Each structure stands twice: as structure tokens, then as C-alpha cells.
Structure 1
Amino acid sequence: MGLSASKRVCRALRDSPAFNSTCDSVYEDCLALAQHAFPGVRPYQLASASDRLHHSLSTEIPLIRKWVPSPPTRSQVDTAFESVARRFGQGGEDITLGSEEFKAFAVELFGGAVVSGAGRAILQRVPVAVAGIAGIGVATRSGREVVGAVIGVYALGVATSVYLSLAP
């Protein structure tokens, strides 16, 4: 299958003109709200920025619409911020995210949220179907090997379907 799911999603987001345009717009909004007092976006602005990003992106990007039904949580925002701060070597109390760092933050945040949503979908679909397949196997008195093979094929099919839906 090539790329991992998270790399595939992050690449799709980075390459999306709608994503880049929305990031630029929200970045400029953050600067304006802070009255350009800082050279970039401060960490305390990221939670509301992620809400605005989600609101705009969920109407423009099918991946976000399908896999991220609600704005990212504060925990997801903090994790994405820490990852970007480490990657760009920022530390200390006076952290600000420039335009490129803000885009990297958004890719990290929404890439992780999409992959998490897809993972939840797999975890919701497979157990119910496995129980159904096992029940049919018991009712028809099929052998364990047959039931196990059908369950394996079904689980692989669901995982492949979700993985392929992560393509832009």
C-alpha cells in the first residue's frame, strides 16, 4: 500500500490549495485579533484557531468532513503544538508560530485527527461484523477455519476500504 496512512493524509493536506488558503486566512485572523502585538501566533490562540480551521476546512475538504466531525480537542491541539515546537526547535516561554510553523501545526493537528477518526471507524465496524459472521458460522455449523478465514477477509477489507478512503 505504500505510504502509511498518516503520511498519506498529511501529504494530501499539504498539497491542498484550500487547506493552505484556509491556514493563511486563519493565521492572519490570529495576528489581527492580537493586534499584531506578536510576530506570529501564540500558543494561547491555537485552540480557537483550530476551531476556526475546522469550521472552514470541514466545508472544503472531504477528508476533514468525513473523518473529523467535531473540532479537535484541547489535548490534540496541545500535542500537535508540542510536536511542531520540537520540530522547529522552539522552546521557552516566548514561543510564536510563524506562517510556516502554523501550517505545520495545522497539518499535524488535522492529519492526526483524520487518522484517529479512521481508526475509530475500523474499531466500530469490525467487532459488530465479526460477531455476526461468528453467529452465522455457528448457525450453519461451519468449521472454525472457514469462519476464521471469513472474519480475516472481512477485517482486511474494512481496513483497506478505510485506508483507500484517506486518498484525496
Structure 2
Amino acid sequence: MGLSPSKRVDAALRRAPAFAAACDDAFDRCLADAQGAFRGVRLYQLADAAARLHASLRASVPLVRRWVPSPPPRARVDAALRAAGLEGEAELSRAQLGEFAAELFREAVLAGAAGIVGVGVAARAAPAVVGRVVAVYAAGAAAALYLSLG
């Protein structure tokens, strides 16, 4: 068996030199915005950092360009912080910001690839129709996701 899509997306993000560079740039920008008052990124800065990361990654990482059309909303930022086990931190180090970013964009890519469910529900399509569309779309999305990781 191969790796799950979640692990493949995570590995693809972490392997991308542009991902590490974007994380470093976002970290440095957050420190500059705080005028050096802190040694790390404060939690209130994470939404802005996520938007900066999105702009940089969208330009350089095909997975983000294809599956994450807009910056992650605050709710997703908060969820990624919790999932990374960093919600108790006063500020994030450079390495912790990288962990947070990997969690945030892995989940955003996976959510973007599975977005058809929301469209079917919003359109109030019959459950059987949504189920068939989801099955077809999921197969196509999974194939596209694996091919884009290739």
C-alpha cells in the first residue's frame, strides 16, 4: 500500500524548497512587523502569516495553486494551530511556524480537493445524486492529486 493522500501532501509540501523559503519569509516578516519586540511569531499574527504564506505558496507550489484558491480563513488557522499542538504557546519559533504551516496547508489542499461535497449540499441536490457526483469527483480529484504530487 502507498501513503495516504494526507501523508503524500504533507511530504510534498515539506520537500518543496519554496515551502521552507515561504515559511522563513513569513517568520521574518512577522518579526519585522512587531519591530523585533518578540523572538517569535505571536498568535495574533498567524492569520496575516497564513495570508502571506498563501500568496507565496500559490505562486510557487502547484498543489497550493490548484487546490487552495484563497487564503485559509481564521477558523482553519485556529484549527491548524490546535492540530499541531501549538495552541498553548505564547509565540512560535521558526520551526514551529513551519509545523503550523504544514498542518494548515495540508488540510487546506485536502479540503480543496474534496470541495465538491459542499457544492452538492449547497445546490440541494438529491443525496443519491450528490453521492454519485462525489464518487466520480473523488476519483478524479484523487487521481489529479496523486499526479500533481508525482
- Same fold flag (TM > 0.5): yes
Can you give the 5+ residue segments of structure 1 that lack an aligned partner in the other structure? 132-150
Matched, 1:164 2:149: no
* 1:45 corresponds to: 45
Structure 2 residue runs of 5 or longer lacking an equivalent are: none
Output the CA distance in 2 between the equivalents of 1:71 and 1:47: 9
Instruction: Please say if 1:112 is aligned against 2:123.
Output: no
| Paired residue total | 140
Tell me the residue number matched to 1:20. 20
2:92 paired residue number: 97
Per the alignment, residue 30 of structure 1 pairs with 30
What residue identity is the alignment partner of 2:114? G
Report the Cα offset of residue 121 of structure 1. 3.4
User: Residue 20 of structure 1: CA displacement?
Assistant: 0.8
Percent of aligned pairs with the same amino acid: 45
Larger gyration radius, structure 1 or structure 2 = 1
Alpha-carbon displacement from aligned partner over 1:58-113 (angstroms, at most 9, x marks no partner): 111111111111110000001111222x2x6x72xx61110110001001001101
Query: What do residues 17-41 of structure 1 show as CA deviations (whole Å, max 9, x unaligned)?
Result: 0111111111111111111211110
**RMSD (Å), alpha carbons:** 2.4
CA distance in 1, matches of 2:68, 2:109: 6
Contact preservation (8 Å) 2:31, 2:40: yes
1:55 deviates by 1.0
What is the alpha-carbon distance in structure 2 between the residues aligned to residue 19 and residue 34 of structure 1?
Answer: 23
Equivalent residues of 1:59, 1:65 under 8 A apart: yes
Q: Which residue of 2 aligns with 1:72?
A: 72
TM-score normalised to the size of structure 2?
0.82
Q: d(CA) in 2 for partners of 1:12 and 1:121?
A: 23
